[in-house]
Structure 1
Amino acid sequence: MMLRILLILASLTTPAAAQTLAQQNARMFEALDRVHNLSARELARIKEIFAASGVAGQGNPAISVHPLTPEQCAARIPGGPSSYDNARNRRICGDRYMAPLYDPATQRPEDAKACIDMFEFPNIPCTYPVVWIKAREAAQVCAAQGKRLCDAHEWEGACAGALTEPDYRFGAGSVAAMRSWHNNKYAPTKNWAYGSSYQRGVCAADSAKSPGCAGGGFGRCGSNTYPTGSFPGCVSALGVYDQHGNAAEHMNLPLAPDQMTSAGGMGVTEMKGSWFIFDKYRAHEDWCRWRAPYWHGSQVMSTGSHANYHLGFRCCKSVD
């Protein structure tokens, strides 16, 4: 297993400036197929989504400067990247590198009705996360694998260490009113994946923006992320990594019960977590159950949904 992981990492380590985005994505697709055992149809659909985007990938390889290489990431993990694989979780979730979502106070992992990717897509440890992807495209990539975009409360429960019942306050009348009620409810007990207070140096949040990156642009802003799982201490009690730092993440915020992805629907966009310069510039709150303002908001499936250099995603999956 360790040899297999090292071979996968080797396929992802061509110097960034030597690659085109298409070459970078091709290597990622190869690793994605090997690790997650995709069908030919699933892989073809994912390739189609990325090709149609033209910018989705691990960042502009001409200007991205990553603080760590995949090999350096592997050396930081006790037991190596393969130690993140968990046979029990694989049995429950039906895929590698997924974690069951449940409430440890009243449930066992086997009671979980949903699972979440342990890492940001492509959900392979010691791999740079995908960015420059719209919420619509993220939802399509998840669906191509038999997964779905996570509902906001699922991501929050994964981070906080306990999945609670959905509590979206659908009758509040607006996204802002829903957010205000929710944040006021959880603020007294706020926590981060790693503990009860914000700490620098624990997560992948000490990188830097590219020179000249004022607010965005594929040609100006490098995705200077860390390989996923580089910070073994940046993990929740449910075993989910990098929910603070690295890439911010697209989620689904339902405005009605039938808009939960866990119910087969789709609502509006919600951005979760912090990003790769957060230890240097703490731009907003990022505790686990905090819901952000309606930044760049749209319907999840809008063709105009937002994408940028530090915004990625992870997937959830309903299980029997």
Structure 2
Amino acid sequence: MTARFVFAILAALLSLTAPARAGALQEANEVLFKQLKSEHRLSDAELQRVKQIFATSGFMGQGNPAITRHPMTPEDCRARIPGGVNQYNSARNTRICGDRYMAPLYDPRRERPEDAKACIDMFEFPNIPCTYPVVWTKAKEAAEVCAAVGKRICDAHEWEGACAGALEPPDYPFGAGSVAAMRSIHNSKYAASASWAYGPAFQRGVCAQNSEKSASCGGGGYNSCGSNTYPTGAFSKCTSGLGVYDLHGNAAEHMNLPMAPDQMASTGSTKLGVTEMKGSWFIWDKYRAHPDWCRWRAPYWHGTRVMSPSSHENYHLGFRCCKTID
């Protein structure tokens, strides 16, 4: 197949009318909504709210269907999981967390799972094993979807604890005065003990990180960049000590970075702080754009308040939810 032929195909795909592209995305999302209702037992009202958020976005979904080329099918994913996807549905965790496919957040050095005060989704949203992550999501939309399904956006330290295998107390140096200063203090604290979900050193081939960008992907536009992700949970070794998957690779994830004590989602605040983007994404085995160890906090990329209507979205940016429990 010549390069000219490949680009002719891409041009034809990109020439689809906007209604045609929107129709394909809506059709794909309807399949996703049915999975959400079935797997997470959403009420009609909850599902309707999720649909409203997706519809208002116009881009949210598992990637632009016209150009996205996933490197693995959900069927292939299910076939490669020893014991099948049912092994992810822990009766203990469901009892503790009140929903399927969630993991308790705690410190195994001094606590039991039953001591957890919060849980985190085991997989990127829609938090269903062997489905593709939802991307093209703003931080605001992530927070709204999590709320719609009875959960909330995670605070940065919760994601970090899920990845490192031990939830530590919140460590936000609020008095530092800026995102950059807070980041520097935090990263200096943890740099010497940097680790990844699967171990103490970065490894290629362990996580969903060996896909490729679309040939047409330059600046990151919806009509040029496919969300070429893997099904969630397809890499059984890409898991943390707390049983959370795909914290490296697949989709980067929106989190809440509180800038003051009253902006912590984990304490019930709805004010929320600023955006924090966690993890790496689906090309990391080929190109590492920045550090991605568990407790690393990123620069203030595309920074806004979480609930800003202009918060960032792109083809490899998704989210997972947390949940406060009694």
Fold conserved (TM > 0.5)? yes
Match of 1:117 in 2: 121
Superposition deviation, residue 146 in structure 1: 1.0
- The TM-score normalised by the length of structure 1 is 0.94
What secondary structure is seen at the aligned counterpart in 1 of 2:137? coil
Could you list the runs of 4 or more consecutive aligned residues of structure 1 that deviate by over 4 angstroms after TM superposition? Answer: none
What secondary structure is seen at the aligned counterpart in 1 of 2:276? strand
* Letter aligned with residue 131 of structure 2: T
Aligned with residue 59 of structure 1, among 32, 46, 63: 63
Match of 2:250 in 1: 246
How far apart, in 2, do the equivalents of 1:236 and 1:317 lie?
A: 18
Ranges in structure 1 where 5+ consecutive residues have no aligned partner: 1-16
Match of 2:277 in 1: 271
* Letter aligned with residue 257 of structure 1: P
Superposition deviation, residue 81 in structure 1: 1.1
- The TM-score normalised by the length of structure 2 is 0.92
* Letter aligned with residue 48 of structure 2: A
Aligned with residue 292 of structure 1, among 275, 279, 298: 298
CA deviation digits over 1:73-127, x for unaligned, max 9? Answer: 0011101111111000000000000000000000000000000000000000000
What pairs with 1:97-246 in structure 2 (closer than 5 Å)? 97-246=101-250
How far apart, in 2, do the equivalents of 1:214 and 1:221 lie?
A: 7
| Correspondence 1:305 to 2:314 | no
Aligned with residue 40 of structure 1, among 44, 52, 66: 44
Match of 2:86 in 1: 82
How far apart, in 1, do the equivalents of 2:130 and 2:114 lie?
A: 27
> RMSD over aligned Cα, in angstroms?
0.8
How far apart, in 1, do the equivalents of 2:264 and 2:156 lie?
A: 9
How far apart, in 2, do the equivalents of 1:290 and 1:230 lie?
A: 24
* Letter aligned with residue 179 of structure 1: R
What secondary structure is seen at the aligned counterpart in 2 of 1:294? coil
Count of residues paired in the alignment: 303
How far apart, in 2, do the equivalents of 1:76 and 1:165 lie?
A: 36
Aligned with residue 95 of structure 1, among 87, 95, 99: 99
How far apart, in 2, do the equivalents of 1:22 and 1:230 lie?
A: 25
How far apart, in 1, do the equivalents of 2:90 and 2:58 lie?
A: 35
How far apart, in 2, do the equivalents of 1:81 and 1:224 lie?
A: 22
* Letter aligned with residue 278 of structure 2: K
How far apart, in 1, do the equivalents of 2:204 and 2:55 lie?
A: 37
What secondary structure is seen at the aligned counterpart in 1 of 2:277? strand
Match of 1:7 in 2: none
How far apart, in 2, do the equivalents of 1:83 and 1:295 lie?
A: 37
CA deviation digits over 1:215-269, x for unaligned, max 9? Answer: 2100000000000000000000000000000000000000001100012221000
What secondary structure is seen at the aligned counterpart in 2 of 1:20? helix
Superposition deviation, residue 173 in structure 1: 1.1
What pairs with 1:2-17 in structure 2 (closer than 5 Å)? none
CA deviation digits over 1:27-66, x for unaligned, max 9? Answer: 0000000000001110000000000000000000110000
How far apart, in 2, do the equivalents of 1:222 and 1:257 lie?
A: 38
Ranges in structure 2 where 5+ consecutive residues have no aligned partner: 1-20
* Letter aligned with residue 151 of structure 1: D
What secondary structure is seen at the aligned counterpart in 1 of 2:94? helix
Q: Percent identity?
A: 73
Match of 1:13 in 2: none
What secondary structure is seen at the aligned counterpart in 2 of 1:143? helix
Match of 2:72 in 1: 68
How far apart, in 2, do the equivalents of 1:286 and 1:64 lie?
A: 24
